[in-house]
Amino acid sequence: MTLYVPVFGDIGAISLLLLYVWLLSAIAASQLARLKGYSEKAGLGTGLLLSAAAVIVWLIIPSRPDSRWRELFRRKKPSPQS
């Protein structure tokens, strides 16, 4: 009796690399959405549907006023010098 062991090399190196890109872009889009004050589900959904383009989409979408993104990347107003 032989034991069936799946071999990932059969699907091809490029297919496996594309799978990793797809999963990592979904994770990145989810984290960007969370930082910008939106739900992680919205980021994960766009990441799974749009793949790497979702990261670009979430970089363009404006953050909410009370989000962690605004705390991290707040621009300092120049102080008036007399």
Does 47 fall in a domain? yes
Q: Helices (DSSP H) in 1-82: which residue ranges? A: 13-35, 40-50, 53-60, 68-72
Pick from 28, 30, 35: nearest CA to 64: 35
Domains: count for the chain: 1
Does 26 fall in a domain? yes
The predicted pLDDT at position 82 comes to: 56
Does 82 fall in a domain? no
Contact 27, 54 (CB under 8 A): no
Q: Measured between alpha carbons, how far is 50 from 42 in angstroms, rounded to an integer?
A: 12
Does 55 fall in a domain? yes
Does 79 fall in a domain? no
Does 4 fall in a domain? no
Does 77 fall in a domain? no
Sign of the torsion angle spanned by Cα atoms 4, 10, 13, 17: negative
Which residues constitute the domain of residue 34? 22-61
pTM: 0.76
Q: Given a cut of 90, is residue 29 above it in pLDDT?
A: yes
The enclosing H or E element of 61 equals none
Select the more confidently predicted residue: 12 or 23: 23
What's the mean pLDDT in 69-77?
Answer: 82
The predicted pLDDT at position 73 comes to: 83
**Residue 38, phi then psi, degrees to nearest 5:** -100, 175
Does 43 fall in a domain? yes
